[in-house]
Structure 1
Amino acid sequence: MSLQKILSISGKPGLYELKAQTRGGFVAESLADKKKISVNVRHNVSMLSEIAIYTHTEEVPLAEVFQKLADKEEGKESLSHKSSANELTTHFKEVLPDFDEGRVYASDIKKVYQWYNILVNAGVNTFVEETPATEEKPTEE
């Protein structure tokens, strides 16, 4: 399952997988209970593949942050998003040491852990697609 089709919908708990487009929106399926819902254009929807975390040097795509978390946790669940903000921030610094503490809030970190755990429980264990190595062709001079 690719993060390209995973959505966060404002006002709706959890994460959803995009299933089909309709005339006035789309149909999404909850990763937690597999219930399908109809989402219209009035909902604020974020695709996880479009979200990034600020660091002091660049923006790191959420998929890479999830992959670092998965590597640290050996593919298993991580801390609960209900852990203390201090505990989550300390753990997040181990995963992404140079994140920008001025622009990444405790609520953002809680969302990262909540979404990561939802994805792991849904069977997702690889977040960054491996790109096949391309062979470099020698240039003729």
Structure 2
Amino acid sequence: MNLEKILSISGKPGLYALKVQTRTGFLAESLIDGKKISVSLKVNVSLLSEISIYTINEEKPLTEVMRNIAIKENEGPAISHKEDNATLVAYFSEILPEYDSERVYPSDIKKVLNWYNLLQSKGMVSKEEPTIENAEEIKEKVVEEVTAEKAPAKKAKAKKA
């Protein structure tokens, strides 16, 4: 599962896919309805690939937590984020038994489950562990996309007859 270009934008519902970087910010596309929005650099944005969950000993990357949910649910949908707090905490304890219950609040669990279900509905979750080759392939693809976005488009010259 690749969360490199998936964003959470403060004040906006759902998740967004990073499309193009601009001089004043970037363009993002909603995973919910596909609408594109322009986002200023002043807005608080989080890359899902940079988010971690507190555990008793360390921090676990969100991608690992999402993979644990995918394994438990066989890549199907998780429980609703609208369940009561006790149900959410019990479910999350099954997914990540060592999570730090003093620093991970029910609101955090709701957000993770909501994000997982949104990504799952778009076919973006996987229970497979990324391999080194897969990670290198993903990195190369991201570098190619960034390079292609920065390269100026060549205009076709019209020939006079």
**Shared fold (TM-score greater than 0.5)?**
yes
Residue 129 (structure 1) shift = 2.5
Residue 125 (structure 1) shift = 2.2
Distance 1:57 1:116 in 2: 24
Alpha carbons 2:75, 2:125 under 8 Å: kept: yes
| Structure 2: stretches of 5+ with no match in the other structure | 135-161
Scaled by the length of structure 1, what TM-score is found? 0.90
Number of positions where the alignment pairs a residue of Structure 1 with one of Structure 2:
133
Alpha carbons 1:70, 1:125 under 8 Å: kept: yes
Alpha carbons 2:66, 2:125 under 8 Å: kept: no
Distance 1:34 1:93 in 2: 33
Distance 2:41 2:133 in 1: 37
Q: Secondary structure at the match of 1:12?
A: coil
State the one-letter code of the partner of 1:8. Answer: S
State the one-letter code of the partner of 1:100. Answer: D
Matching residue of 1:137? none
Distance 1:12 1:60 in 2: 25
State the one-letter code of the partner of 1:6. Answer: I
Alpha carbons 1:32, 1:122 under 8 Å: kept: no
Q: Secondary structure at the match of 1:103?
A: coil
Cα-Cα RMSD: 1.5
Matched, 1:129 2:130: yes
Alpha carbons 1:17, 1:29 under 8 Å: kept: yes
Q: Percent identity?
A: 55
State the one-letter code of the partner of 1:130. Answer: T
Higher helix share: 2
Distance 2:33 2:8 in 1: 15
Write the deviation string for residues 26-70 of structure 1: whole angstroms up to 9, x where unpaired: 000011111100000121000000000010111000000000000
Which segments of structure 1 move beyond 6 Å, counting only runs of 4 or more? none
Scaled by the length of structure 2, what TM-score is found? 0.79
Matching residue of 1:16? 16
Matching residue of 1:39? 39
Matching residue of 1:68? 68
